[in-house]
Amino acid sequence: MSRKQLTIGILGGMGPMATADLFQKIINHTPATRDQDHLRILIDNNPQIPDRTAALNGSGPSPAPELHKTAEGLIQSGADFIIVPCNTAHYFVHPLAKEFNVPVLSMIKTTADYVSEHFPKVKKVGLLATSGTIIAGVYNKVFQEKGIDVSAPSPEQQEELVMGAIYGPDGIKAGNIRKPRKKLAKAARILEKEGAEALLMACTEIPLALRQEDVDVPLLDPTDILAQAAVKKALQC
């Protein structure tokens, strides 16, 4: 007898495009030949969750209460575990997870495990992320435990190239791709020159623009890695 499939709860809305991207990637990684083979997925696309980077730099309210409320709604609706398509949000979600009666599958940990398993020779990764993720240091601790250094752009490059690509008037959150791709590719090449042996697209908007052909080292998508891990967990295999 096959095991019961688990229901995935996606705590989304940070931002909506990234949430849709994760949903699509879960579908892509599910071994299915008919509708009934796919997984049950509950999505709360809550764009009213306060900005995570603003909270970390002291210019906005904490997203923790809204994250907690959204997660509890997913649990009450039947989610067996929760995934969060926002790297920066993991700083706030980790302490909250102790209050939930279902597990939270961490994008950060699944990415570190993936790099360690599939790229065992990599000892330095470049981090393309929001300033909030960098300030929070969510990737640094987990990767350093595996003997992998994490490097980020300089503050000036981070603001102009990465944050500009994500939050700028022509940025990804405004629905644009072409100009953000150029900025992100420039930031990525700088990290390559500084010794990064792989690059992490550690903001869920970045994979919507940046492509492997833009760089010469492996370009890793934590959203896709999380999607694979979620499918495996839901199928209990």
Q: Is 223 helix (H, G, I), strand (E, B) or coil?
A: helix
The residues, any chain, with a CB within 8 Å of residue 155's CB and separated by 6 or more, are none
Of 41, 125, 203, 208, the catalytic one is 203
Distance CA 179, CA 177 (A): 6
Which uninterrupted H or E stretch holds 220? strand 219-220
Instruction: Give buried/exposed letters for 3-18 (b at 16+ CB in 10 A, else e).
Output: eeebbbbbbbbbbeeb
- Tokens at residue 84, please? 């969060």
**Using an 8 Å Cβ cutoff, are 8 and 18 in contact?**
no
Active site (annotated) includes residue 237: no
Tokens of 22: 């994760």
- Marked catalytic residue, from 74, 86, 112, 129: 86
3-state secondary structure of 44: strand
What positions carry a catalytic annotation?
A: 86, 203
